[in-house]
Amino acid sequence: MSNFVIGYYAALIAASCLAAYYQNRKVFMLLFSLTLVSFVLGIIGGVPALRGVTIFAGLLALAAGTSYAFREFLIQISKPGIAKELRTAPLTASFGMFVIFTYAIAGIFAPWIAPYGESEVIAQTFAPPDENLLLGADQLGRDIFSRIIYGARNSVGLALVATLLAFIMGALGGLLAAVKGGWFDQLMGRVADVIMSVPSLIFALLMLSIFGTSLIVIVIVVAVIYSPRVFRLTRAVAGNIVVMDYIEAAKLRGEGDWYLIRKEILPNSTAPLVAEFGLEFCFVFLLIAGLSFLGLGIQPPTADWGSMVRENATLISFGDITPLIPAAAIALLTVAVNFVVDWMLFRSSGLKEQ
């Protein structure tokens, strides 16, 4: 038995005993469960499996520490009201906010962060990583790291614009349908049903094949696809508000539809709509990445994570994980946004932690 194995189990058991001595049940259960899992993995996979568990646990600890520090940073720079809310944020939400912040910095300052241009050919085809190429080169000799940085601007930026347009269209339609009712409500509902009845990917492929793959067309098509989802939620939320007494009182005062929407309905439905915006962004982001992977999204030479996976897919046959890097960037942002949305939904539900 190697010194690493002895030290590994000794550290876990000692930490578990300390947690039990100080009666910290959550930490004890976590550490002792990790000890039991490590014992099984050690029998099956030996020392390499234990080293893998150590690396994974270290990454989790690093992520937790970063999330905690970033949450404290946000608390220090925020106003008292916002700081009070941030103190209740779990570490998962803090981690999500940190990832979103990192992606935003990468997208905004891409020309200064990326060492090369997004379409600049600087090396041989599929050149390996070295001191000049952090992640190597792609099929044309372009720096993959630079294209990933620029991809944060292009992929995330396009998804954000499409989500904003879808949200404006859907939310506006839902609010008007709830206020006006009658034939307008029925008409909007049937239009939303028709659009939602067609699978989103098939609808997008059909529209892009007809109208082309320019950025404006992509934004409009994706917004049309996802606006009915926003319409349904907004109509449901606003429908519960328009029957309230204060809405009837505002109508008796002679207030118009736009006043009811701006002053009465919208302020009382902000929380679920903001959470829905995060969910819609994830759906839109994944759809655009899928379209780019199929060749109908963001077109070359513009850097895009979906197209980067397709362009470098042949490297997987040689055991190279380079194509998985843009795929991991897509997955990480999606998970981060969902962490933040989960916390916002928990806050808007009015539930309290025990």
3-state per-residue secondary structure call for the chain: CCHHHHHHHHHHHHHHHHHHHCCCHHHHHHHHHHHHHHHHHHHHHHHHHHHHHHHHHHHHHHHHHHHHHHHHHHHHHCCHHHHHHHHCCCHHHHHHHHHHHHHHHHHHCHHHHCCCCCCCECCCCCCCCCCCCCCCECCCCEEHHHHHHHHHHHHHHHHHHHHHHHHHHHHHHHHHHHHHCHHHHHHHHHHHHHHHHCCHHHHHHHHHHHHCCCHHHHHHHHHHHHHHHHHHHHHHHHHHHCCCHHHHHHHHCCCCHHHHHHHHHHHHCHHHHHHHHHHHHHHHHHHHHHHHHHCCCCCCCCCCHHHHHHHCHHHHHHCCCCCHHHHHHHHHHHHHHHHHHHHHHHHHHCCCCC
Q: Residue 255 and residue 113: Cα distance in Å, rounded?
A: 52
CA-to-CA separations, 39 to 48, 56, 61, 127, in angstroms, rounded: 13, 16, 20, 41
Q: Is the pTM value of this prediction over 0.85?
A: no
- Give the residue among 107, 86, 109, 108 at the shortest CA–CA distance from 96: 86
- Give the residue among 218, 197, 228, 195 at the shortest CA–CA distance from 294: 218
Tell me phi and psi for residue 239, to 5 degrees. Answer: -65, -30
**Paired tokens of 19:** 């947690």
pLDDT at 126: 80
Q: Residue 223 and residue 164: Cα distance in Å, rounded?
A: 8
| Local mean pLDDT, 10-residue blocks, the chain (354 residues) | 73 84 82 80 76 80 88 89 85 91 90 87 83 82 88 89 92 87 86 88 88 89 91 86 79 77 80 84 90 85 85 77 85 91 76 46
pLDDT at 17: 87
Q: What fold does the segment set 111-349 form as a domain?
A: MetI-like fold (1.10.3720)
